[in-house]
Amino acid sequence: MVHAADLVPAVLFLVAYTAYFALLVYLYATKAILWKSRYSFVFTHVVFRLVGMALVLIAYLVFAAEGYFSLILCAYRFLVVWMQDHFGASYLEPRIPKGTPRREKFRMHMRAPLVSVHYALIAANALIITGSSYMVGAMDQEDPRHESKLDKAKGLRVAGTAVFLAIVQAHLAVCLHMWRKRRDRTLFLITFTWPFLTVRGVYGILGILVPAFSCNPDAYGSSGFSSTFLAGEHCMGTLMEWIACGLLISTHFSAINGGDELREDGGSEDEEREGDEDGQALQMRRSSEPKSGMSV
């Protein structure tokens, strides 16, 4: 039986994520942001979290992982757009010159660092989903293979979450490298997602290895879920994602408050030349601005 006290924080976060959903829908409807933009990644994350909150057991475990997965992708996409806006290109996702043969274009695409990040995230996500499936299959304690299944499930989920956590640290390293070149509020907001994404990843591992943080019978008593489990789930899990998501959404308002919104690179061959020219103009204009301090 689910106790009312256990539902209060869940309902609060459901309302909080619904507010993000409504805000993004409003921005899309007013064309303040475009569907084919980095905000589509944030929108996907919000949808994953809303669906995850409405489901339980295996679906909950899977959608919780998908929420973290999508949020890390969001952080990288926002960083790539920031780099393209300020320097005309991003070494995480280099432009492919117009007229490049299809086979060479594919090779250049596969060599892009961001593609490696995508595949690493997909592989890690597959490990977590597989581990979650094993976790459900290991719930029968009368099964003689119960312990081996449980250990295998934990190992797969820990490995996947550890990859997520490592990719978050790589994101911070790129942000700090960019910070030495150019500082502004938008980059600060993107960089500041790091502590929250890191805590979320650490909690993901604790939730697998520490019984008090795990979604299992040990965390549930006659009065409902234990305070330790609820504190971990809502404070180290959902809250961390919600704050990081809010920081990324707030870059829209930071940009229009301090100047034009970040220019998206559409990626088409016709836009590449324009993007290069725009990037050079941006570099010339911004090179004359102060290098130290944060733009306001």
Q: Could you tell me whether strands 224-225 and 220-221 are parallel, antiparallel, or unpaired per DSSP bridges?
A: antiparallel
What pLDDT score does 33 carry?
Answer: 87
257 versus 295: which is more confidently predicted? Answer: 257
Q: What is the mean pLDDT of residues 226-252?
A: 88
Q: How many CA atoms lie within 13 A of 147 on its CB side?
A: 1
Contact 139, 58 (CB under 8 A): no
Per cent of the chain over pLDDT 90 is 36
Structure confidence by residue, pLDDT tens digits, 6-51: 567 778 888 899 999 999 999 999 988 888 888 988 998 898 888 7
What pLDDT score does 57 carry?
Answer: 54
Structure confidence by residue, pLDDT tens digits, 54-106: 665 555 556 666 788 899 999 999 999 999 888 888 999 888 788 888 888 88
This prediction's pTM = 0.78
Please check the confidence at residue 287 and state whether its pLDDT lies above 50.
no
Distance CA 75, CA 209 (A): 27
